[in-house]
């Protein structure tokens, strides 16, 4: 059986102090915010807490900036090390390319590994190949103009007259 004094599983006796506290808060806020602010403003402990909060905020901002600066410095150092390493690698590759391209090395490699010999000009046979020259390049504008002239009605009549003349 449901007790008439209980509401939703909570007894009305336990709700009474909560309602009273809420009513006091409404009365305090109803009195005015100015009075509440005056009360908090004259409290030494509230002023000390505000001052400590501002100091803590300033310290946290300083720490955030200092950590960001240190991370940036670490990144800069890593990039400088990478640049120095790449410059050394580039210098090494340039020296290697220079030594690989030297004529004396190429001659030694050709004569020993590839079994090549220096050419004797007295036994050399010279040939002169005949290479046909490619046709001159015609621009697309010339092709377009010629096609337009061939497609005009006057050109059709001229071709028809030539056809008739050659067929007779």
Distance between CA 145 and CA 154 in Å, rounded?
15
- Predicted TM-score (pTM) of the model is 0.39
Quickly tell me which residue has 């050419």 as its tokens.
119
Contact of 116 with 110, CB cutoff 8 Å: yes
pLDDT (tens place) for every residue of the chain, 168 residues total: 445 444 455 455 555 666 655 555 555 455 567 776 777 777 788 888 888 999 999 999 999 999 999 999 999 999 999 999 999 999 999 999 999 999 888 888 888 988 888 878 888 888 888 888 877 766 666 677 677 677 777 777 888 888 888 887
Distance between CA 132 and CA 142 in Å, rounded?
24
**Burial profile 32-66: b = 16 or more Cβ within 10 angstroms, e = fewer:** eeeeeeeeeeeeeeeeeeeeeeeeeeeeeeeeeee
**Which H helix or E strand runs over 11?**
strand 10-11
Contact of 24 with 30, CB cutoff 8 Å: no
- Going from N- to C-terminal start, the domains of the chain cover 14-68, 75-117
Distance between CA 41 and CA 47 in Å, rounded?
7
Biggest alpha carbon distance in the chain?
131
């Amino acid at each position: 059986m449901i007790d008439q004094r209980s509401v939703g599983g909570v007894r009305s006796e336990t709700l009474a102090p909560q309602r009273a506290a809420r009513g006091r808060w409404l009365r305090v806020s109803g009195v005015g915010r100015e009075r509440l602010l005056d009360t908090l403003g004259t409290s030494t402990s509230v002023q000390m807490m505000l001052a400590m909060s501002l100091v803590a905020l300033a310290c946290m901002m300083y720490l955030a900036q200092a950590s960001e600066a240190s991370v940036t410095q670490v990144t800069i150092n890593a990039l400088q090390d990478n640049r120095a390493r790449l410059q050394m690698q580039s210098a090494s590759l340039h020296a290697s390319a220079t030594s690989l391209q030297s004529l004396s090395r190429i001659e030694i490699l050709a004569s020993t590994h590839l079994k090549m010999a220096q050419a004797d000009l007295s036994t050399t046979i010279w040939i002169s190949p005949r290479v046909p020259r490619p046709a001159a390049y015609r621009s697309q504008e010339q092709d377009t103009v010629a096609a337009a002239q061939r497609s005009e009605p006057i050109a059709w009549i001229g071709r028809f007259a030539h056809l008739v003349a050659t067929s007779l």
